[in-house]
C-alpha cells in the first residue's frame, strides 16, 4: 500500500539553528512528493514539490528538500530557522497514475528563542 | 490569487443532527477533496470529486456523503452527526499539476 511516514511527531530547535524534517515514502513507482506547512488556525500552504528531474528542490520561505530514491526519503531542510517557522509540517505523496494525495502524520516544529 | 473558501470556521452541532459543510473554489478546478485532520493522524481523505456529480470514496467515507452540483462547490454532509466526527475538516481543490489548494478549515464539535 502507498504510504508516507513522518517519524518525528515533535521537533524543537533553537532560532538560527538548522532544521531537517524527515519524510519516508512507500510507492511502487516514483511518486510526486510535496511538503506543506500549516500555521495555527490556518489551512495548508505548499512549500515545495518534486515531480522529476533535479533531486534538490527549492521552495518558499527558504526551505529545500532532497529526493533520495535509494532511501525512499524526501527530507525538508532549512539552514537557519526563524521563530515564524513554528508550525506543523506535512509531507505528502501521490502516485503519478492516481488522484489521491496521501499525507504523513505531520511534524510539529517548535522554535526556542 | 487562488482561493478556496469554507462556509464556517467553527461549528458546534448536537449528536444526530444533519450537518452541511460547504466549500467553494474560484480556480475552475475539476478535482475537489474533503479531508479530516486529527492530531497524530495527519490528513485523511473522506471523499473526492473529479467532475460535477462525480464522486469517489476516500480512505474514511463511513458516516459521510458529498454533493457536487456545480463545478465550484463541493459539499460534505454528515447525515447524523456523532461525537467521533468532532474534528477539523479541510477542503481542497487540485490543479492539473497535482498541486492542492486548501481552505482555512472548519473545526466541527459534536456534543
Chain segment B22-62, per-residue pLDDT in tens: 999 999 999 999 999 998 788 899 999 999 999 999 989 99
Nearest CA among A4, A16, A6, A32 for reference residue A88: A6
Which residues on chain A are in Cβ contact (under 8 Å) with B104?
A: 41-43
3-state secondary structure of A84: helix
Across the interface, of B4, B56, B99, the residue whose CB is closest to A49 is B99
Q: Do B98 and A46 touch (CB under 8 A)?
A: no
Q: Is the pLDDT of residue A89 over 80?
A: yes
Q: Is the pLDDT of residue A98 over 80?
A: no
In this prediction, residue A75 carries a pLDDT of 98
Q: Does residue A67 sit at the B interface (CB-CB below 8 Å)?
A: no
Q: pLDDT-derived band of residue A96, with 50, 70 and 90 as boundaries?
A: low
Test the A interface: residue of B6, B24, B33, B42 with most A CBs within 10 Å: B42
Q: Do A90 and B43 touch (CB under 8 A)?
A: yes
Q: Does residue A43 sit at the B interface (CB-CB below 8 Å)?
A: yes
Q: Do A34 and B99 touch (CB under 8 A)?
A: yes
Q: Which three cell numbers stand for residue A62?
A: 527558504
User: Where does residue B30 rank: exposed (0-12), middle (13-18), buried (19+ CB within 10 A)?
Assistant: middle
Give me the total of CB pairs closer than 8 Å, taking one residue from chain A and one from chain B.
53
Q: pLDDT digit string (tens) for B49-97?
A: 999 999 999 989 999 999 999 999 999 999 999 999 999 999 999 988 8
Which residues on chain A are in Cβ contact (under 8 Å) with B4?
A: 43
Beta bridge partners of A35: A48, A91
Which residues on chain A are in Cβ contact (under 8 Å) with B105?
A: 42-43
For A112, half-sphere exposure in the C-beta direction (CA atoms, 13 angstrom radius) is 6
In this prediction, residue B2 carries a pLDDT of 67
Q: Looking at residue A104, what DSSP letter applies?
A: -
Q: Do B41 and A105 touch (CB under 8 A)?
A: yes
- B95 φ/ψ angles, rounded to the nearest 5 degrees: -90, 180
Q: pLDDT digit string (tens) for A40-83?
A: 878 899 999 998 888 999 999 999 999 999 999 999 999 999 99
Q: Do B42 and A105 touch (CB under 8 A)?
A: yes
Q: Is the pLDDT of residue B17 over 70?
A: yes
Q: Does residue B78 sit at the A interface (CB-CB below 8 Å)?
A: no
Higher pLDDT, A100 or A111: A111
Amino acid at each position: 500500500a502507498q504510504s508516507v511516514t513522518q517519524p518525528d511527531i515533535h521537533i524543537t530547535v533553537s532560532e538560527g539553528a538548522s532544521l531537517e524534517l524527515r519524510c519516508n515514502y512507500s510507492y511502487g513507482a516514483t511518486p510526486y512528493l510535496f511538503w506543506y506547512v500549516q500555521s495555527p488556525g490556518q489551512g495548508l500552504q505548499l512549500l515545495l514539490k518534486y515531480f522529476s528531474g533535479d533531486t534538490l528542490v527549492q521552495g518558499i520561505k527558504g526551505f529545500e528538500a532532497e529526493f533520495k530514491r535509494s532511501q525512499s526519503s524526501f527530507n525538508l531542510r532549512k539552514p537557519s530557522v526563524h521563530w515564524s517557522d513554528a508550525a506543523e509540517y506535512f509531507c505528502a505523496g501521490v502516485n503519478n497514475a492516481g488522484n489521491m494525495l496521501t499525507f504523513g502524520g505531520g511534524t510539529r516544529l517548535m522554535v526556542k528563542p | 490569487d487562488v482561493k478556496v473558501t469554507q462556509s464556517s470556521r467553527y461549528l458546534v452541532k448536537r449528536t444526530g443532527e444533519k450537518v452541511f459543510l460547504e466549500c467553494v473554489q474560484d480556480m475552475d478546478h475539476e478535482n475537489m477533496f474533503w479531508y479530516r485532520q486529527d492530531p497524530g493522524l495527519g490528513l485523511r481523505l473522506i471523499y473526492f470529486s473529479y467532475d460535477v456529480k462525480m464522486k469517489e470514496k476516500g480512505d474514511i467515507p463511513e458516516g459521510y456523503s458529498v454533493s457536487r452540483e456545480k463545478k465550484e462547490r463541493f459539499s460534505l454532509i454528515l447525515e447524523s452527526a456523532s461525537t467521533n466526527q468532532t474534528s477539523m475538516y479541510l477542503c481542497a481543490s487540485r490543479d492539473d499539476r497535482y498541486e492542492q489548494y486548501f481552505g482555512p478549515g472548519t473545526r466541527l464539535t459534536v456534543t
